[in-house]
Amino acid sequence: MKTMRDEQKTAGTGAKNVLITGASSGIGEALALECARRGAASLFLCGRNEERLSAVADACRALGAEVHARSLDVTDEAGVRRWVEECEATAPLEVVFANAGVATGAEIEENVRRTFATNVGGCLNVALAALACYRARGEKGRAARRQIVLTASIAGYSPLASCPSYSASKAAVKTWGLANRRPLAREGIRMNVVCPGFVRSRITDKNTCPMPFFMEADRAARIILDRVDRNVGLIAFPWPMRFASWLLAICPWRIAERISSMLPKK
């Protein structure tokens, strides 16, 4: 019932200046389009694929938003910090979505390192740059909305033999974000963590495993934005997958390991 109510809410109080990484496809693309529909004034979007990113930017402009798009790899720490600072100087950021992420594929060294560099390092690059901008506003900025939303995954609830690096990298994002929520709240900064299940994206398009409770990206974006506006700390959905993942996480390790080893590889 909560999800149905979430989807029926309007977003008249949605943020006006929003930054989204990984905006060229999947959840990032859907978030950009939904923010534009809800009246965002300035959208700052980045992605690695310039052609797809340009198409998303054009679609958001058609919905009335002013869009600033940049082709950028979030693992570039210095480049990300410069970009975030430029965005902040253009229009004070209200919500920053550290959303870019990759799947691992084969668990070979190159892929494992790329997974952690993007899913953990890239997330930190965006979040830490945003925090620095928020804090630089000083006391004057405390009254303004300052929010950082990290995209983790339901896979981050417990170690999964089907996707070791992916589940571990998302677990790191989930833990770091939730652990920072209370300390940052004392500074007037919100931090939220999103843990979606299977949502249509370029990652899920490559999956050959069963994907229970599969969700279209536009529906996921509506759920996320509604709960971000309400400052829900952990935004995990759909609830059956959240419950199953939580149950697996609290099982004795030997049982959890056996169950995990039976799951099909992504």
Residues forming the active site? 166
| Interatomic CA distance for residues 12 and 39, integer angstroms | 8
Residue the block writes with tokens 């790899």? 73
| Interatomic CA distance for residues 199 and 196, integer angstroms | 7
| Interatomic CA distance for residues 25 and 108, integer angstroms | 25
Q: Hey, CA dihedral for 224, 158, 101, 147, is it positive or negative?
A: positive
| Interatomic CA distance for residues 174 and 193, integer angstroms | 6
B/e letters for 134-172, b = 16+ CB within 10 Å, e = fewer, are beebeeebeeebbbbbbbbbbbbbbbbeebebbbbbbbb
